[in-house]
Amino acid sequence: MSGTALLCLMVFCNTFSIGGFNPLLPEIGRRQGLADWELGLLAGTFGFARMCGAIPSGWLAGRRLAAALGLSPAFLALGLALVATAGPFPVLLAGRFCMGLGHTLGTVSALTAILLDDRGANASVRLNTFEFAGMAGILAAVALVGSLPATWAWNASFAVTASPLLAVVLLLPAMRRHFGHVALDAPAAAAPTATLAVRRAEARPVPPIVVAMFVVGILLALTWSSVSQFLLPLRGTREFGLSRGGLAWLFAVAQVVDLLALLPVGRCADRLGRVVVLGVVTAVMGLGTVAVGLGGLPLFVAGCAAFGFGLAGWMLPLGVIREHTSRARLGWRTGCYRVGVDASVFLGPLVSGLLGARGAAVFVAAVGVLALAAGVALLMRPALLVRPPVLASREP
């Protein structure tokens, strides 16, 4: 089995715990007697842990890739065990924190490995194939948790839904063999002229396009976390009277659209340019987010579909960043990017919880407007942001 296939299988199994948690959020609040701000903190702790672990994960992935990949399921299993106890609120927070660390270790390490091969005609497709595997895991988890008996306790449903994590443990020997001798920060054998070009490029300030990709990634993460981890399940339950199965169906709408769009979006990005395609999907995601925040039930459902289409561009900012990042700095810059993204994953549900359900709807709509504006800006002025990809094209 190839390295990319191993990483895709790993992320497929890891993301069951993400897809299984969100539809259960209203039930967790009822059973555990949690206020809205506590629910927001519980959902956001996952992103906070990912934010804290992003740079250490990038550092470790740049030196011991196999070790970083091996630590991921260990932290995930510990977090799953803590959450499944349905214990006091601090225990649940600790569990979500461990799960966030496990996910960021796996994600940053896998992305660092995949981005090393981010050259050629199918670069965006490779990234979106990895994202496809993760979204497929979330969709499968949503379908599974929605099909389990409603009489089951939420923690039992969550434990069963997240159980594919056990398969990752079986993959560890293969990943150790494949990635055990990879040194991502080792000097690459390059021609002297190419090495000089890389050094000169690295000495320059961060290109504007890299800064723009950080901003877009933060907006995408903020919309995703605010909608999926707080507003969608709570608004669907309280305003539209949806059950656990109904919420799972809504999440499935977004995930199915995402899965259908991922590979075509990646192909279009390779043909038309990543920045242009990213502008389209960001604008559509912004529109969908506004609909989820303020629309009635028909717009709410349509917004979920548009939201899913926007998620198909989740990997494109990293692909653009790779074009302007050398091999030696790839793990570090990937980790820094994930800090901004994961900080937004933390802040989205936390701010929503502090504002309450009604205030969160306005907040989410405002974030959607910002995402729409960012997408339009990328479409209107892509040439001003892009510099020639010197690092990606000249460095082996």
**Rounded Cα gap, residues 105 and 58, in angstroms:** 8
Structural tokens at position 168: 């990752």
Predicted pLDDT at 391: 44
Contacting residues for 175 by C-beta, under 8 A, at least 6 apart: 6, 10, 66, 69, 70
Superfamily of segment(s) 3-394: MFS general substrate transporter like domains (1.20.1250.20)
Query: Side chain identity at 191, as an amino acid letter?
Result: A
Q: Average pLDDT in the 163-184 region?
A: 79
Helix (H, G, I), strand (E, B) or coil at 240: coil
DSSP code per residue over 264-303: HHHHHHHHH-HHHHHHHHHHHHHHHHHHHHH--HHHHHHH
- For residue 320, which of 269, 271, 281 has the smallest C-alpha distance? 269
277-314 residue pLDDT tens: 999 999 999 999 999 988 888 999 999 999 889 888 88
- Between the CA atoms of 53, 132, 352 and 29, what dihedral angle is there, to the nearest 10 degrees? -90
pLDDT at residue 390 in the model? 43
End-to-end CA distance of the chain: 24
Helix (H, G, I), strand (E, B) or coil at 381: coil
Query: How would residue 12 be classed by pLDDT, with cut points 50, 70 and 90?
Result: very high
Closest CA to 313 of 265, 370, 271: 265
- Looking at per-residue pLDDT, the higher value among 121 and 42 belongs to 42
Q: Per residue in 98-126, pLDDT tens?
A: 999 999 898 888 887 777 655 444 556 77
pLDDT above 50 for 19 = yes
- Does the pLDDT of residue 244 top 80, yes or no? no
Give CA–CA dist 146/15, Å, rounded. Answer: 16
Per the model's pLDDT, the better-predicted residue between 396 and 336 turns out to be 336
Model confidence at 242: pLDDT above 80: yes
195 has a pLDDT exceeding 50: no
Provide the pLDDT confidence category of residue 385 given band limits of 50, 70 and 90: low
Label residue 182 by pLDDT band (50, 70, 90): low
| Mean pLDDT along residues 201-213 | 71
Residue 389 has pLDDT above 60, yes or no: no
Q: Report which secondary-structure segment, H or E, holds 239.
A: none
Q: Is the pLDDT of residue 190 over 80?
A: no
Check residue 368 and give its pLDDT: 92
pLDDT, average across residues 211-223? 90
- pLDDT at site 201: 47
The contacts of residue 381 (CB under 8 Å, 6+ apart) are none
CA separation for the pair 345, 356 (Å, rounded): 17
